[in-house]
């Protein structure tokens, strides 16, 4: 009797333990790979961030955090920091809301040609950088299409040399980013929306809820986990932005649109290499992304 | 589902273990360079000519972009594993000092291994570090002024009116031509400072002093250059565009009268079939006040380096091809690669007139220009200084004070140098 | 009557919006495609209609670049990453969500740090590791760093949240072990997520550029994006050839997306319920 009574909970405990262990085994391959392929090089890079000197003769700097201290006096770095955060604050929210709107529209039951619309809106992120950067530069050039349209619609009084203007250049980068990544994020929203039943929307419609209410009161709460994932990914992507800064504006005019990653790349390979300083700047990016992701997780990942 | 997955997994493993390339063997020269129509083609011709006497040596020319070569040298040297580098690689002249200074263990000192007699001194200066030679000169970046003679004619000028002139005179002519034809004289990429660097070198001035210290704040020639440049832009004689493609576009669409740039720009102009016979070349304008001002300068160009620890003797033996007049004559028709090796100009290919350029023997002309180019100091921090000057000029164009901006630029470079 | 009119107007506006958005989205790709038919002068002159230079461009492209080799390499590399990465990351994502506890959540948080450092910073140590392991120029060298990504793990983890726990309980009672539950229950249910993940992974891997440039050095190991950027490296850029290269490089992603988008949006409506 007593034996039996004791055995049952113990067996359940071992079952739970077994499941717990299975869980760890499921994580193992991915975790090992990440530790091996990312954390190990990251530790090495962190050590480099405490060093200075020629790339092949690095020595620990005095004081150790010298490279980190140096950043505050570096005008180009500070400018790149301001630029990058400007992109982040403006671009990420607009892009994610747009992606949600597209996903909701393209998830509508009665919509025709869904496949074609979805493909079209996804395509920007698959478009080669070469072709889209040439097109964007041409469209936003002084005698380009954008100026022609805006002037003829009387939105602008006279043409703007977008890429040669501190605000214009940033605007072009933000527009390019939204153009390029909205469809990408839409894909995740679409795939997650499949787990939402159409009948919920029908019930809401009967209750008189409009499209916006349906989006904010039904879709967004149900998609919260995936919205969180995309928010973290976009924050990360924008803080590490490189392509657009190099190819659209080359950081100009006068570093007014350069991003942190672009500056880090220049410091590593274009100008006389300073590996220690570049590594230190990289860890500052890590810090920013980590803190922002942490905040996003706190806000969005409540079970 | 499971079956497909396991088949795919097995396939994956098999494929992943198959090497895509074989390891390097002895008696083989591997070369990294980047332009199939230009330096790759030249190297292939060199290989063919070398094979006549050395049939056993295998020569493999691999296409690696210039930026990638620099990046690969950096990673390989830092990781302490030079085995991934080729025997010979091409390097941009402007990067040479930076690369050798930072990765000295990669580059072979060729001073006692190679004969540098006959190569232009300004060209050699790019790859001499602390008095030692590290590069075998390849193509010249000698600056030419190339103009549309049909546009000039419309405004009542000939190509000779643009020969041996100063920038002041150029601006006068440019204003006149623009008034009569509507076309600006030149175009260039905003912020790239190519034009400014060309103008600066034309009087033998540099962004650095002999001792390697930065020289921007009190650099009188530089100030004259920036003033001339800004005057050109303000007068509408020089139109700034935002990218390289747009710059090439202004030439191919015929929306500018001409350009001044490294002679390699002629290859682009030559590809514009519908403009044949409408172009001609002469030298570039010079600074009016600077000491040692000339009508000659350089932009671009590259030199070959040999990696340490490889079969240096074999590589050096092969590179004797670059002292061979016959070789230069062989590569000229297909690549338009203009040598920096003076004896080459005696070759037939060099003196041939070019119909595209109104019958001017462009190659011989450029070689002659090349001999008169003053040398300048690039140094390891060339690109740091260039970026800083670019920022200064952009700010000055937007109303900043050029003296203050150049002082800031000097601080920026000093900051980078003080790592 | 007016209700029907308003409804029609609403649909008209939705279609108009989607059509405009689609046109803006496709325009640069359309232009690249059209430009593959044009020569440099037409391209830089801003021509939006195809002319007759397609064959010349393709012939020149074939002459100066190893398109077939690059296409083959890109295909092999991408398929390898696709299979390995989807397998490893979906298992991990499932593990993190279904067996989640405080410790696993913490591990997830730490793993996420790995994507937050710019790649330039870890490039040298990575190179050192890979040249030490003799993986230069090998497909495995290309593949290894992209198999396990926090992003895909997160994607599977967050979508696994919608996977009904009752199914798992029922399956356990039926005597299925944990691996069987994953293969027989989870994979079929999560087809939309797999399809979305496959699309994104395909695109990212196919277009990968920074890492292959470091690890793939011989001409035989070249990938499509490397080939396209090689076309831009010389003194004279033939934009017609570049655009022909760009078109060939982009088409596979377009095709893959078009065929996969159905499966991540329509196929499973019934299976979750």
Residues B210 and B31: their CA atoms lie apart, in Å, by 33
DSSP count for chain C of H helices, then E strands: 15, 0
**B105 and B47 co-located in one domain:** yes
What ipTM was reported for this prediction?
0.87
**B174 and B246 co-located in one domain:** yes
Query: Crossing angle, helix A129-139 and helix C239-263, to 10 degrees?
Result: 110
What's the DSSP call for residue A54? S
Q: Is B234 exposed, middle or buried (0-12, 13-18, 19+ CB in 10 A)?
A: exposed
Predicted pLDDT at B290: 94
Predicted pLDDT at A301: 65
- Do residue C31 and residue A268 have CB atoms under 8 angstroms apart? no
Q: A134: nearest CA in chain C?
A: C28
**B188 and B270 co-located in one domain:** yes
Task: List the alpha helices (DSSP H) in A140-210.
Answer: 145-152, 166-193, 198-206
Pairing of strands B88-92, B302-306: antiparallel
Does residue C267 surpass a pLDDT of 60? no
Q: Mind listing the pLDDT tens digit for each residue in B134-189?
A: 999 999 899 999 999 999 999 999 999 999 999 999 999 999 999 999 999 999 99
Does residue A4 surpass a pLDDT of 70? no
Q: C139: nearest CA in chain B?
A: B16
Does residue B14 surpass a pLDDT of 70? no
**How many structural domains does chain B have?**
2
* Beta carbons of A275 and A48 less than 8 angstroms apart: yes
* Beta carbons of B328 and B50 less than 8 angstroms apart: no
Q: What share of chain A is helix, strand, coil (3-state, %, to 5)?
A: 75, 0, 20
Which stretch of DSSP H or E encloses residue B132? strand B132-133
Residues C74 and C76: their CA atoms lie apart, in Å, by 6
Pairing of strands B28-33, B88-92: parallel
**B321 and B262 co-located in one domain:** no
CA B59 to chain centre: 25
Q: Would B153 be classed as within a structural domain?
A: yes
**B75 and B199 co-located in one domain:** no
Q: Provide the chain C residues 130-189 that lie in CB contact (below 8 A) with chain B.
A: 131-132, 136-140, 143, 183, 187-188
Counting every residue written for chain C, the total comes to 273
**B277 and B191 co-located in one domain:** yes
Residues B347 and B345: their CA atoms lie apart, in Å, by 5
Q: Mind listing the pLDDT tens digit for each residue in C13-31?
A: 999 999 999 999 999 889 8
Q: Mind listing the pLDDT tens digit for each residue in C130-143?
A: 988 889 889 999 99
User: Which of C45, C75, C234 should one mutate to test binding to chain B, selecting the residue with the greatest count of B CBs within 10 A?
Assistant: C234
* Beta carbons of A260 and C102 less than 8 angstroms apart: no
Does residue A9 surpass a pLDDT of 90? no
Q: Mind listing the pLDDT tens digit for each residue in A287-302?
A: 999 999 989 888 876 6
Does residue A3 surpass a pLDDT of 50? no
* Beta carbons of C175 and C251 less than 8 angstroms apart: no
- Do residue C221 and residue B21 have CB atoms under 8 angstroms apart? yes
Residues C244 and C62: their CA atoms lie apart, in Å, by 10
Which residues in C lie closer than 8 A to residue B15 (C-beta atoms)?
Answer: 76, 80, 139
Q: B38: nearest CA in chain C?
A: C234
Q: Would B165 be classed as within a structural domain?
A: yes
Predicted pLDDT at A227: 92
Nearest to A74 among B240, B246, B415 (CB): B415
Find the mean pLDDT for residues A5-31: 75
* Closest of C162, C155, C180 to residue C170, by C-alpha: C180
Residue C190 pLDDT class (50, 70, 90 cuts): confident
Residues C73 and A281: their CA atoms lie apart, in Å, by 34
Higher confidence at residue B235 or residue B15?
B235
Please provide the average confidence, as pLDDT, over all residues in chain B.
Answer: 91
Does residue A41 surpass a pLDDT of 60? yes
Predicted pLDDT at C25: 93
Please provide the average confidence, as pLDDT, over all residues in chain C.
Answer: 88
Does residue C271 surpass a pLDDT of 50? no
Residue B259 dihedral angles phi and psi, to the nearest 5°: -155, 155
* Beta carbons of A245 and A251 less than 8 angstroms apart: yes
Which stretch of DSSP H or E encloses residue B282? strand B279-282
Residue range of the domain that includes B208: 144-296+376-417
**B178 and B265 co-located in one domain:** yes
**B129 and B173 co-located in one domain:** no
Give the Cβ contact number of residue C30 at 10 Å.
Answer: 16
Cis, peptide link before residue B8, omega less than 30° from 0: no
Predicted pLDDT at B22: 39
Higher confidence at residue A266 or residue B419?
A266
Q: By percentage, how much of chain C surpasses pLDDT 70? A: 96
Higher confidence at residue A246 or residue A17?
A246
Predicted pLDDT at A19: 81
Higher confidence at residue B19 or residue B371?
B371
Does residue C163 surpass a pLDDT of 90? no
Residues B373 and B342: their CA atoms lie apart, in Å, by 13
Q: B78: nearest CA in chain A?
A: A56
Residue C148 dihedral angles phi and psi, to the nearest 5°: -105, 110
- Do residue C45 and residue B271 have CB atoms under 8 angstroms apart? no
Q: Domains, chain A, ranges and CATH? A: 74-300 (1.10.3720.10)
Q: Mind listing the pLDDT tens digit for each residue in B260-274?
A: 999 999 989 998 989
Which stretch of DSSP H or E encloses residue B137? strand B136-137
- Do residue A272 and residue B380 have CB atoms under 8 angstroms apart? yes
Counting every residue written for chain A, the total comes to 303
Pairing of strands B238-241, B186-189: parallel
Predicted pLDDT at C18: 95
Q: Would B395 be classed as within a structural domain?
A: yes
CA distances A85 to A92, A237, A254, C56, C60, Å, are 10, 12, 18, 46, 44
Does residue A241 surpass a pLDDT of 50? yes
Its sign, for the CA torsion B362, B363, B364, B366, is positive
Tokens encoding B142: 């000698």
Q: Mind listing the pLDDT tens digit for each residue in B294-352?
A: 999 999 899 999 999 889 999 999 999 999 999 999 999 888 888 888 888 888 888 88
Residues A127 and A131: their CA atoms lie apart, in Å, by 7
User: Which of A54, A248, A272, A277 should one mutate to test binding to chain B, selecting the residue with the greatest count of B CBs within 10 A?
Assistant: A272
Q: Mind listing the pLDDT tens digit for each residue in B92-111?
A: 999 999 999 999 999 999 99
C-alpha atoms less than 13 angstroms from C-alpha of B409 in its C-beta half-sphere: 35
Please provide the average confidence, as pLDDT, over all residues in chain A.
Answer: 88
Q: Would B367 be classed as within a structural domain?
A: no
B136 beta partners: B304
Q: Mind listing the pLDDT tens digit for each residue in C191-230?
A: 888 998 999 899 999 998 888 988 888 888 999 999 998 9
- Span of A211-215, B365-369, C93-97 with lowest mean pLDDT: A211-215
The 3-state DSSP class for residue B107 equals strand
**B266 and B395 co-located in one domain:** yes
Predicted pLDDT at A210: 83
Contacts of A156 (CB under 8 A, 6+ apart): A147, A150
Q: Would B163 be classed as within a structural domain?
A: yes
Does residue A15 surpass a pLDDT of 80? no
Tokens encoding C219: 């001409």
Q: Provide the chain C residues 228-267 that lie in CB contact (below 8 A) with chain A.
A: 228-229, 232, 242-243, 246, 249-250, 253-254, 257-258, 261-262, 264-265
Q: pTM for the complete prediction? A: 0.90
Neighbors of chain C by Cβ distance (3+ pairs < 8 Å) = A, B
Nearest to C236 among B72, B84, B271 (CB): B271
Q: Mind listing the pLDDT tens digit for each residue in C42-96?
A: 888 878 889 989 999 999 999 888 999 999 999 999 999 999 999 999 999 999 9
CA distances C200 to B80, C82, C153, C205, C227, Å, are 36, 10, 13, 8, 22
Q: Would B354 be classed as within a structural domain?
A: no
CA B32 to chain centre: 17
Predicted pLDDT at A2: 42
For residue B41, the domain's CATH number is 3.40.190.10
* Closest of A195, A176, A183 to residue A105, by C-alpha: A183
The 3-state DSSP class for residue A113 equals coil
Q: Would B13 be classed as within a structural domain?
A: no
Q: Domains, chain C, ranges and CATH? A: 66-230 (1.10.3720.10)
Predicted pLDDT at B12: 54
Tokens encoding C7: 């409804």
* Closest of C32, C108, B197, B233 to residue A294, by C-alpha: C108
Predicted pLDDT at C234: 83
Q: Nearest 5 degrees, angle CA B292-CA B296-CA B298? A: 115
B298 beta partners: B142
Predicted pLDDT at B27: 85
**B243 and B388 co-located in one domain:** yes
Q: Would B247 be classed as within a structural domain?
A: yes
Find the mean pLDDT for residues C118-140: 88
Residues B86 and B310: their CA atoms lie apart, in Å, by 8
Tokens encoding A52: 């200075």
Tokens encoding C236: 């004279």
Q: Is B71 exposed, middle or buried (0-12, 13-18, 19+ CB in 10 A)?
A: buried
Predicted pLDDT at C119: 86
**B184 and B207 co-located in one domain:** yes
Does residue C1 surpass a pLDDT of 60? no
**B150 and B126 co-located in one domain:** no
Tokens encoding A267: 């410091």
* Beta carbons of A194 and C272 less than 8 angstroms apart: yes
The 3-state DSSP class for residue B392 equals helix
Q: Mind listing the pLDDT tens digit for each residue in A50-109?
A: 999 888 888 898 889 999 999 999 999 999 999 999 999 999 999 999 999 999 999 888
Residue B23 pLDDT class (50, 70, 90 cuts): very low
């Amino acid at each position: 009797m007593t034996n039996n009574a004791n055995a049952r909970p113990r067996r359940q405990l071992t079952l739970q333990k077994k499941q717990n262990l299975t869980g760890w085994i499921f994580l193992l391959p991915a975790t090992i790979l990440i530790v091996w392929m990312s954390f190990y090089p990251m530790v090495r890079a962190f050590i480099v961030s405490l060093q200075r000197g020629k790339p092949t003769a690095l020595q620990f700097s005095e004081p150790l955090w010298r490279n980190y201290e140096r950043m505050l006096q570096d005008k180009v770095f500070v400018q790149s920091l301001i630029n990058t955060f400007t992109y982040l604050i403006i671009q990420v929210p607009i892009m994610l809301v747009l992606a949600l709107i597209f996903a909701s529209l393209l998830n509508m039951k009665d919509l025709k040609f869904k496949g074609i619309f979805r493909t079209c809106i996804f395509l920007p992120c698959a478009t080669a950088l070469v072709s889209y950067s040439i097109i964007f530069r041409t469209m936003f050039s002084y005698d380009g299409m954008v100026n022609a349209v805006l002037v003829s619609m009387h939105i602008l009084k006279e043409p703007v040399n977008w890429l040669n203007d501190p605000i214009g250049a940033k605007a072009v980068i933000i527009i390019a980013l939204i153009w390029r990544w909205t469809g990408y994020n839409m894909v995740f929203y679409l795939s997650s929306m499949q787990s939402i039943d159409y009948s919920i929307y029908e019930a809401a419609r009967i209750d008189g809820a409009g499209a916006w209410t349906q989006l904010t009161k039904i879709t967004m709460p149900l998609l919260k986990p995936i919205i969180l994932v995309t928010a973290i990914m976009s924050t990360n992507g924008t803080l590490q932005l490189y392509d657009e800064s190099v190819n659209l504006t080359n950081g100009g005019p006068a570093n007014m649109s350069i991003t942190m990653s672009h500056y880090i790349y220049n410091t590593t390979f274009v100008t006389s290499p300073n590996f220690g300083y570049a590594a230190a700047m990289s860890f500052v990016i890590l810090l920013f992304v980590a803190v922002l992701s942490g905040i996003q997780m706190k806000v969005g990942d409540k079970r | 589902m499971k079956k497909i997955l396991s088949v795919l997994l097995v396939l994956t493993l098999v494929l992943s273990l198959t090497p895509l390339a074989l390891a390097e063997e002895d008696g083989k020269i591997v070369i990294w360079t980047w332009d199939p129509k230009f330096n790759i083609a030249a190297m292939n011709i060199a290989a063919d000519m070398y094979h006549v006497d050395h049939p056993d040596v295998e020569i493999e020319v691999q296409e690696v972009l210039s930026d990638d070569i620099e990046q690969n040298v950096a990673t390989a040297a830092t990781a302490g594993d030079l085995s991934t580098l080729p025997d010979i690689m091409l390097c941009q002249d402007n990067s040479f000092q930076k690369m050798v200074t930072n990765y000295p263990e990669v580059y072979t000192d060729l001073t006692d291994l190679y004969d540098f007699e006959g190569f232009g001194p300004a060209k050699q200066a790019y790859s001499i570090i602390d008095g030692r030679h590290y590069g075998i000169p390849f193509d010249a970046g000698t600056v030419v002024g190339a103009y549309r003679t049909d546009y000039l004619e419309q405004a009542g000028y000939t190509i000779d009116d643009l020969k041996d002139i100063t920038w002041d005179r150029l601006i006068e002519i440019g204003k006149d031509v623009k008034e009569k034809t509507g076309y600006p004289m030149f175009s260039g990429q905003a912020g790239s400072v190519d034009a400014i660097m060309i103008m600066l070198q034309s009087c033998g001035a540099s962004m650095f002093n002999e001792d390697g210290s930065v020289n921007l704040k009190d650099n009188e020639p530089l100030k004259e250059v920036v003033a001339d440049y800004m005057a050109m832009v303000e007068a509408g004689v020089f139109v700034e565009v935002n990218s390289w493609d747009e710059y090439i576009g202004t030439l191919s669409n015929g929306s500018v009268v001409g350009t001044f740039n490294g002679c390699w720009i002629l290859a682009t102009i030559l590809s514009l079939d519908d403009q044949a016979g409408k172009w001609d070349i002469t030298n570039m304008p010079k600074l009016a006040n600077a000491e040692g001002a000339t009508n000659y300068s350089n932009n671009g160009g590259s030199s070959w380096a040999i990696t340490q620890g490889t079969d240096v003797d074999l590589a050096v033996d092969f590179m004797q091809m670059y002292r061979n007049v016959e070789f230069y004559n062989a590569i000229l028709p297909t690549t338009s690669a203009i040598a920096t090796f003076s004896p080459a100009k005696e070759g037939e290919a060099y003196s041939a007139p070019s119909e595209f350029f109104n019958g001017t023997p462009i190659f011989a002309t450029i070689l002659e220009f090349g001999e008169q180019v003053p040398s300048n100091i690039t140094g390891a921090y060339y690109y740091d200084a260039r970026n800083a000057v670019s920022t200064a000029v952009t700010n000055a164009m937007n109303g900043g004070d050029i003296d203050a901006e150049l002082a800031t630029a000097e601080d920026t470079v000093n900051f980078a140098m003080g790592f | 009557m007016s209700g029907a009119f308003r409804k029609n107007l609403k649909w008209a506006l939705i279609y108009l919006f989607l059509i405009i958005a689609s046109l803006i989205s496709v325009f640069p790709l359309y232009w690249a495609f059209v430009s593959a038919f044009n020569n440099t002068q037409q391209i830089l002159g801003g021509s939006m209609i195809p002319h007759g230079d397609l064959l010349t461009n393709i012939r020149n492209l074939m002459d100066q670049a190893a398109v077939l080799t690059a296409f083959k390499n890109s295909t092999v590399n991408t398929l390898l990453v696709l299979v390995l990465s989807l397998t490893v990351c979906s298992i991990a994502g499932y593990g993190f969500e279904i067996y989640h506890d405080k410790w696993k959540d913490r591990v997830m948080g730490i793993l996420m740090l790995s994507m937050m450092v710019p790649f330039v910073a870890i490039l040298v140590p990575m190179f050192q590791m890979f040249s030490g392991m003799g993986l230069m120029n090998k497909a495995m060298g290309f593949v290894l760093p992209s198999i396990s990504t926090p992003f895909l793990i997160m994607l599977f983890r967050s979508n696994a949240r919608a996977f009904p726990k009752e199914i798992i309980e029922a399956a356990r009672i039926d005597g299925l072990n944990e691996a069987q539950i994953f293969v027989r229950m989870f994979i079929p249910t999560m087809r939309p997520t797999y399809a979305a993940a496959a699309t994104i992974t395909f695109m990212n891997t196919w277009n990968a550029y920074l890492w292959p440039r470091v690890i793939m050095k011989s001409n035989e190991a070249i990938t499509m994006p490397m080939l396209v950027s090689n076309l831009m490296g010389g003194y004279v850029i033939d934009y017609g050839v570049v655009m022909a290269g760009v078109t060939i490089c982009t088409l596979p992603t377009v095709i893959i997306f078009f065929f996969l988008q159905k499966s991540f949006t329509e196929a499973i409506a019934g299976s979750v319920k």
